[in-house]
A and B are shown apart, each in its own frame.
Chain A
Amino acid sequence: MSGVILAVDDSASMRQMVRFTLEGAGYTVLQANDGVEALELARTSGADLVLTDVNMPRMDGLTLVRELRALDNYKFVPMLVLTTESGQDTKMRGKQAGATGWIVKPFNPEQLLATIARVL
């Protein structure tokens, strides 16, 4: 597998778990602590897929998805939300913001990789 994945989460241990899983499968992983950092990183380095948490300081994941969708080079990039939130209302807000899919934490490494392979 190859491709650059931007992983966004304010929890360092969560970012590590995502990194282990994705790098083990051959992806290159860029990491950001919140939406503001992710947006900056997305502008300066290209990503083939964005995997973001929802609740983060400074800028939440749904605002990040919306902001990225407004950029020309991220209009069609798959964006997956990885969160503890499982409520239908929040999921619908994610869909409206432009998210490609919704993954409820904790993720299973094999299932996460299969989902990424499917949307990439």
Chain B
Amino acid sequence: MPASTAESSKAAPAGAPGFTPELQMANMLGLCEAQMESALQESDRAVDALVQAFTCLVDTTRSVNALTDQLPVEFRETVAVGLNQQVEAISKQMASAVVAFQFYDKLTQRLGHVRYSLSTLALFVCDRSQAASPDQWRRLMNTLRRLYRTEEEREIFQAMMDGISSEQELGGATSTHKAVKPGEIELF
């Protein structure tokens, strides 16, 4: 959390001296950011453990494959064929897992952008003259728009700017992106 956001999170309770709605809002935004950071750190540890387990699985599968190749000739047509088929089936599942794992990387990147947006907004609302200026709001929106780099982030940003509610956009996004599909490849 930036220092100034941390400062703003010292907002006084309602009715107490020093209470302002802006400071309360900044405090709440800081809370959201902290919750997100904590959840991400926990997830990182869990995903690291999963990646380690997956690494072991990959290595074991490769070892089984190598051992199969060393089987005596009399077993090649019986045992080896069956084992090879099983290894091939596992390899196909692993390829799907490799694609799925990458979505976590994408998720942490997108959540990083959300956290930055929250801290930027917390600082913004604390400055009353800035928060009262439509031009400053436009500048803030432009800053956030440049932050969003994935196709999904840009689509959601544009939809919200066009006045579509988050529920409507998420409904649309679900139908558009529900398939876990790999990204595009372009050679120059």
Interface set of A (CB-CB < 8 Å, partner B): 11-14, 16-17, 20-21, 24, 55, 84-87, 90-91, 94-95, 99-111, 115, 118-119
Contact = CB atoms under 8 A, between A and B. Distances in A.
B102 A111 contact: no
A87 B94 CA distance: 29
B98 A20 contact: yes
Interface of B: 47-48, 51, 54-55, 58, 62, 91, 94-95, 98-106, 108-109, 149-151, 154, 180, 182-188
Given A55-B149, A86-B151, A105 B183 contact: yes
Given A84-B109, A100-B188, A108-B99, 20 more contacts: A11-B105, A13-B47, A13-B101, A13-B105, A14-B102, A17-B98, A17-B101, A24-B58, A84-B106, A84-B149, A87-B154, A99-B188, A102-B184, A103-B184, A104-B183, A105-B102, A107-B98, A107-B182, A115-B185, A119-B187
Nearest to A53: B105
28 contacts: A13-B51, A13-B104, A16-B51, A17-B101, A17-B102, A20-B54, A84-B109, A84-B149, A84-B150, A85-B150, A86-B183, A86-B184, A87-B149, A90-B149, A101-B188, A102-B185, A103-B185, A103-B186, A104-B185, A105-B102, A106-B102, A106-B103, A107-B99, A107-B102, A107-B183, A108-B182, A110-B95, A119-B187
A105 B105 CA distance: 9
Contacts of A84: 105-106, 109, 149-150, 183
Contacts of B185: 101-104, 111, 115
A11 B101 CA distance: 12
Contacts of A94: 188
Interface centre among A20, A21, A105 (most CB of B within 10 A): A20
Contacts of B51: 12-13, 16
Nearest to B57: A20
B95 A105 contact: no
